Chain A
Amino acid sequence: MRTVFRLGAVPFAVLLLVLSSAGCAHTKIAAKADPRVLYVGNPGSAREKDYIAFLSPHFPQLKTADLAKFDPALAKDSDVVILDYDAEFNAPRPKLPPDYSRATITVGVVGALISSDLGLKTGYM
């Protein structure tokens, strides 16, 4: 019994080590898989707070910016940009260069207007 225990203990310890390592690796992969999101809206608005409360648990690397001052360079460390505002037709409309290629979600009327400015088929109808 004693021998069996010792023989079994070593593989068990190795197994624990392997599982532990695998768990760490999995955690790292999962963390890497979470897109780094930049929410661009109206700073301090209730709508911005609403988005932050919703997105933060899902995207730990969430950052925010002001749509009125948005510059594509702000998005260089993000994977996905969300362009939104708590107004529609009188919201700021940043001018994006034609070669802007960051993955971006445009929201609502202001999103459609920004899309129209860029000549996109998802623009305002």
Chain B
Amino acid sequence: MGEAAQGEPIQHEVFSTPFKVEAQFEMWPTPNSYRRYPGGKDLPAQLRVWRVQNTGQQMGGVVSSPDGMNNSPDTEILAPGYNVGQQSGAVGVGRHGNFLQWGFSAPPSKMTDAGQKLFLNCIHYIRKFDGKPPQTR
């Protein structure tokens, strides 16, 4: 995965509680890998992203597959991750039951202000799912 989340932050408490996450948007080139997936050929030349970290590296971290994330009762895509190897919409930050996967690689000192606030909010958010393991695997 790259250094940014892709698209507009969704309307979700993880972007506002307790800290308001203020994304700073940039336009980045659409990765070639996106073109291989359904709908990829129709994507514009550039995509709207917002930086989560600043490591100076194009690669690092990991995305998860979005397949099956939207049809399970206890999964959520919280932020798609801009990536150069997989598909548009792959999961940068997501939840399954009591687990929240933060796919970005940087330590906090190299996160942006928005990235730091989102990480802190994730800690508060996932606490709500303590004792609630995944219903499906």
**Could you tell me which A residues sit within 8 Å of B by CB distance?**
35, 37, 46-47, 50-51, 53-55, 58-59, 79-80, 82, 88, 98-109, 111-112, 115, 118-125
Query: With A115-B96, A121-B68, A122-B91 in contact, do A105 and B122 touch (Cβ < 8 Å)?
Result: yes
27 contacts between A and B (CB under 8 A): A35-B123, A47-B107, A55-B108, A79-B127, A101-B97, A101-B98, A103-B98, A104-B99, A105-B99, A105-B100, A106-B101, A107-B102, A107-B104, A109-B61, A111-B101, A120-B99, A120-B101, A120-B137, A121-B64, A121-B65, A122-B64, A122-B100, A123-B101, A125-B62, A125-B63, A125-B86, A125-B90
Q: Note all chain B residues with C-beta closer than 8 A to A106.
A: 99-102
Q: How far is the CA of A13 from the CA of B5 in the complex (A)?
A: 54
Q: Note all chain A residues with C-beta closer than 8 A to B101.
A: 105-106, 111-112, 115, 120, 122-123
Q: How far is the CA of A101 from the CA of B131 in the complex (A)?
A: 5
| Cβ-neighbour of B126 out of A53, A88, A104, A107 (below 8 A) | A104
> Does B120 lie at the interface of the complex (its beta carbon under 8 Å from any beta carbon of A)?
yes
Q: How far is the CA of A98 from the CA of B98 in the complex (A)?
A: 12
Going nearest first, the 10 A-B pairs with the smallest beta carbon separation are A54-B108, A122-B101, A119-B137, A103-B130, A50-B107, A101-B133, A120-B96, A112-B62, A103-B126, A108-B105
Q: Note all chain A residues with C-beta closer than 8 A to B61.
A: 108-109
Q: Note all chain B residues with C-beta closer than 8 A to A105.
A: 99-102, 122-123, 126
Asked whether B62 lies within 8 Å of A109 as measured between CB atoms, the reply is yes
Asked whether B108 lies within 8 Å of A80 as measured between CB atoms, the reply is no
Nearest A residue to B91 via CB reads A122
Min C-beta distance of A53 to chain B, whole Å: 7
> Does B2 lie at the interface of the complex (its beta carbon under 8 Å from any beta carbon of A)?
no
